[in-house]
A and B are shown apart, each in its own frame.
Chain A
């Protein structure tokens, strides 16, 4: 994913190819919007942060093309933290509708997928972010480590610990039947 993104952005930076940048935008914007929503942004807030993140991204990306996706997510996370501090509200409760929608569905889950959704929602925000980046954005441990500014080994251990925790909760819930 990073290689393809890097190639597109190299074309944008070296040949001023705006179509290459638009292709990069289309490949990342949807997932980044979902990521911001999963972090607790309101729907409109996620669009605003998405636009702001990309505008900041085009100002700095040509200086260092090593990990463009990681850079984009890091900018988005920082912007979200800034807006959270400005609003002085909890990122989870900023717009409860998104989370509640999942929670409500989870109560009457009909299959494993809905149950897994409800399980994910019980995790802390940082762990949800990690799962999102790993299993939905398809980033490697190294890329996530770059975004969160942590050692790769720590991310690897945390991923394994989250999976273990989910299985443990699954076990506890099934024991409750």
Chain B
């Protein structure tokens, strides 16, 4: 590989390298255009695929909406059932229970009987412990 070219400086050598690549044979432009067409077709189908990919998000949105509606409905049901319950459960003894008249008359007679029984032993065991005397 002998030659008689002068040794180039770095800058000139870089220029020579660039020119060496310039003479490289280039591609066939019809084949490059054919590949371009193929890639364009592929990128268009990719765009369609990207549109299809939004469907799962719509499904998620619908499900989320459905769950929210179900939760709202369940809440409504819960609160309406609470209103039907009595406000306060009161014990039977404290409530104003009316005693039937028959039962009351019976109790009265028994008291009278007891009173007459008490008078039998008068002076011995009086039920009156203390009574203020009226002057």
Contact = CB atoms under 8 A, between A and B. Distances in A.
A170 B24 contact: no
Contacts of A135: 14, 17-18, 21
The size class of the interface chain A forms with chain B is: 35 or more
Chain B residues touching A, range: 35 or more
A131 B31 contact: no
Contacts of B35: 29, 47, 50-51, 54
A46 interface: yes
B8 to A, nearest CB: 7
B39 to A, nearest CB: 5
Given A115-B3, A135-B14, A58 B43 contact: yes
A117 B24 CA distance: 10
A54 B17 contact: no
Given A29-B27, A34-B21, A112-B16, A55 B3 contact: no
B7 A167 contact: yes
A120 interface: yes
A54 B39 contact: yes
Nearest to A169: B1
B13 A163 contact: yes
Interface in A45-68: 46-47, 50-51, 54-55, 58-59
A33 interface: yes
A115 B47 CA distance: 49
A84 interface: no
A58 to B, nearest CB: 5
A51 B21 contact: no
Interface in B17-64: 17-27, 31-32, 35-36, 38-40, 42-44, 46-47
A16 B50 CA distance: 11
Contacts of A69: none
Contacts of A115: 1, 3, 5
Given A47-B35, A136-B21, A163 B27 contact: no
A136 B16 contact: no
Interface in B54-109: none
Given A51-B39, A173-B2, A167 B8 contact: yes
For the complex of A and B, list the 5 residue pairs with the smallest distance between their C-beta atoms, beginning with the closest. Answer: A136-B21, A33-B27, A176-B2, A116-B16, A177-B2
